[in-house]
Amino acid sequence: MNQPMKLFGTDGVRGVANTEPMTAETALKLGRAAAHVFKRDDKRRHRIVIGKDTRLSGYMLENALVAGICSMGVDALLLGPLPTPAVAFITRSLRADAGVMLSASHNPYMDNGIKFFSNDGFKLADEIERQMEAFIASGELDEIRPTAAEVGKAWRIDDALGRYIEFIKNSFPKGMTLDGYKIMLDVANGAAYKVAPRIFSELGADVTVYSDKPNGMNINDHCGALYPEVVRKGVIDHRANVGISLDGDGDRCIMADDDATVVDGDHVLAIAALDLKEKGLLANNAIAATVMSNLGLFQAMNEAGIEVHRSKVGDRYVLSTMLEHGLNLGGEQSGHVIFSDYTTTGDGLITALQILRIMRETGRKLSDLRRVVRKYPQVLVNVTVRDKPPIESLDGVQQVVAEVERALGAHGRVFLRYSGTEYVARVMVEGREEREVKVHAERIADAVRAALA
């Protein structure tokens, strides 16, 4: 049970669809393993919720998962295309034993992923993922074959979309509306393409929607949270109050203010933290942020007397840090923000509504609110690699990093890590001068390429 994980990364299992581990065969095995792990007793029917985004490969993997789950005597409840946080919510709402989301988040359409939630709506602990892997690797489940009436069945949850819409709207103050707000909304041709426009429209906003016609192959295709320029242009063209960009599975949100300036997760954390602190609602007067967050966020929080607990990159690690320190706010620069007073995972729609609430309550524009964070120039360079040896073992790379750190001194930093979901090394350099930061980042990236590319 203590063997290293081979299937699960930092956010479930992910890869190119129809190649290992993202094959129908492996999905079936994962369905069987999940059903076995979450089938806690034999005195009742057990149920696992399955949602997906809009990728073409979702049909293949969904059916394989259903077959695996039902073959172990557990029922499968199908939600269809809905955001990742909707799966977490509906798992809790229906009191299901577990939830599964088929999505590769912000990745291109040819990728896909499988991530699991426990019955409380939280992502699985590492030990449970290891247990599932061990069952698959050992073949221990091969002989478990319920028959006759003990085989599971599958059906669709017809009111899933409506349940989630009401849940999200309930995170917005009762009686408050978005009347008079003009919103540019990019749903990335992804999982939120139905629910997001309805939520903002039903709250009274004038909504212009982009990228809401998924065809299975256009998810995240030059749209969504990785391409905020879409809504930035919309804000300018339509003189809008705000732009909102979601990613393919709807759990992250990047915004554009009324000046068409990007407002990322660091800005959101600072704005929300100050609002909660002013109301006396910021748990333990602290937030969680990752090591990738901009130094400007840490300075803003320090000036406000708010402590910042740093976590590894990944919303699951942010949540772990929040639980460890009793926090109700945490997130990532990439737009994953967790408001745990409302939900158990990052939700791009809740994130957007919380910022809109603050705008409405204070009467301030987003361009004014975002200025609480004075950002340091930060450059991120991605280097494709063939394997991932320990970074500390790369002597040539470490030497260059040390030289850059000496050059930056106390007014900058270097962060080098591997992606948890792709064969990519991420080089991040931060400092006072953008031109200098770019030179340093490319120098480290060149060293990584020489060692690994």
Catalytic residues: 105
Residue 208 CB contacts under 8 Å (≥ 6 apart), including other chains:
182, 183, 184, 185, 234, 238, 240
pLDDT given at position 394: 87
Please give the Cα distance from 267 to 218 (Å, whole number). Answer: 29
Whole-prediction pTM: 0.90
CATH class of 164-372: alpha beta
Span 117-143, pLDDT tens digits: 999 999 998 899 999 999 999 999 999
SS3 for the chain is CCCCCCCCEECEEEEECCCCCCCHHHHHHHHHHHHHHHCCCCCCCCEEEEEECCCCCHHHHHHHHHHHHHHCCCEEEEEEECCHHHHHHHHHHCCCCEEEEECCCCCCCCEEEEEEEECCCCECCHHHHHHHHHHHHHCCCCCCCCCHHHCCCEEECCCHHHHHHHHHHCCCCCCCCCCCCEEEEECCCCCCCCHHHHHHHHCCCEEEEECCCCCCCCCCCCCHHHCCHHHHHHHHHHCCCEEEEECCCCCCEEEECCCCCEECHHHHHHHHHHHHHHCCCCHHHEEEEECCCCHHHHHHHHHHCCEEEEECCCHHHHHHHHHHHCCCEEECCCCCEEECCCCCCCCHHHHHHHHHHHHHHHCCCHHHHHHHCCCCCEEEEEEECCCCCCHHHCHHHHHHHHHHHHHHHHHCEEEEEECCCCCEEEEEEECCCHHHHHHHHHHHHHHHHHHHC
Distances (CA, A) of 267 to 196, 253, 261, 273, 339: 22, 11, 11, 10, 14
User: What is the total residue count of the chain?
Assistant: 453
Which tokens belong to 95?
A: 């009191």
Same topology between domain 13-158 and domain 378-452: no
Alpha carbon distance 65, 144 (integer Å)? 17
- Cα–Cα distance list, 301 to 277, 281, 339, 360 (Å): 11, 16, 17, 23
Looking at domain 13-158, which of 1.10.645.10, 3.40.140.10, 3.30.930.10, 3.40.120.10 is its CATH number? 3.40.120.10
**Token pair 């990738």 in the structure block, residue:** 292
Closest CA to 164 of 88, 50, 64: 88
Quote the tokens at residue 197: 């426009």
Segments making up each domain of the chain, as ranges: 13-158, 164-372, 378-452
Can you tell me which residue has the tokens 């478990």?
A: 144
pLDDT (tens, 9 = 90+) of the chain, 453 residues, equals 444 447 998 789 999 999 999 999 999 999 999 999 998 777 789 999 999 999 999 999 999 999 999 999 999 999 999 999 999 999 999 999 999 999 999 999 999 999 999 999 999 988 999 999 999 999 999 999 999 999 999 999 999 999 999 999 999 999 999 999 999 999 999 999 999 999 999 999 999 999 999 999 999 999 999 999 999 999 999 999 999 999 999 999 999 999 999 999 999 999 999 999 999 999 999 999 999 899 999 999 999 999 999 999 888 899 999 999 999 999 999 999 999 999 999 999 999 999 999 999 999 999 999 999 999 998 999 999 988 999 999 889 999 999 999 999 988 899 998 987 788 999 999 998 999 999 999 999 999 999 986
* Residue 216 backbone phi and psi in degrees, to 5: 95, -15
Domain 378-452 sits in which CATH superfamily? Alpha-D-phosphohexomutase, C-terminal domain (3.30.310.50)
Round to whole Å and give the CA distance between 211 and 221.
9
Contact yes or no for 290/312 (Cβ under 8 A): yes
Q: What digits encode the pLDDT tens for the residues 170-225?
A: 999 999 999 999 999 999 999 999 999 999 999 999 999 999 999 999 999 999 99
Q: What's the Cα-to-Cα distance from 13 to each of 20, 420, 421, 441, rounded to whole Å?
A: 10, 10, 8, 30
